[in-house]
Amino acid sequence: MAARAAGLVNKLKLAATDMALMAKPAMQTYGSLAMRELGPPSPAQWPTIQKDLQGLVKSAKSLKFINVSVKEAVTGALLGAEVLCWFYVGEIIGRGSIIGYNV
């Protein structure tokens, strides 16, 4: 029995080593992409951000969002529902329970 357990431990050790070797290039790629994509905006990007926000305000004032297709409206509603669900998941994780805050 002890020999089987030792053999299982050795197999698990080899599998973990192989997985770590296979995951290393993917994690390096993820790290470089995460640093670039998830970081704060650079000063060179601020004019583009300002222009996009002004366009958003302009389209809201002209009620451009009323003239959308059903497909775009459903897509937007589903996206909003997904964001709301992830918000609630974060709230549940943050407070440590589903039902309420521990006061």
Q: Per residue of the chain (103 residues), what is the pLDDT tens digit?
A: 788 888 888 899 998 898 888 888 888 998 888 888 888 889 999 999 999 999 999 988 998 888 889 999 999 999 999 999 999 899 888 888 888 766 4
Report how far residue 49's alpha carbon sits from residue 75's, in angstroms, rounded to the nearest whole number. Answer: 24
**pLDDT value for 102:** 60
Domain carrying residue 95: 45-103
**pLDDT value for 5:** 84
Residues 61 and 87 in one domain: yes
- Cα atoms in the 13 Å half-sphere on the side-chain side of 7: 4
Residues 31 and 53 in one domain: no
Looking at the 3D structure of the chain, how many domains does it have?
Answer: 2
Residues 99 and 75 in one domain: yes
Residues 28 and 53 in one domain: no
- Cα atoms in the 13 Å half-sphere on the side-chain side of 101: 2
Residues 19 and 62 in one domain: no
Is the whole-model pTM more than 0.85? no
Residues 50 and 68 in one domain: yes
Residues 28 and 71 in one domain: no
Residues 7 and 53 in one domain: no
Residues 103 and 71 in one domain: yes
Residues 73 and 88 in one domain: yes
Residues 24 and 50 in one domain: no
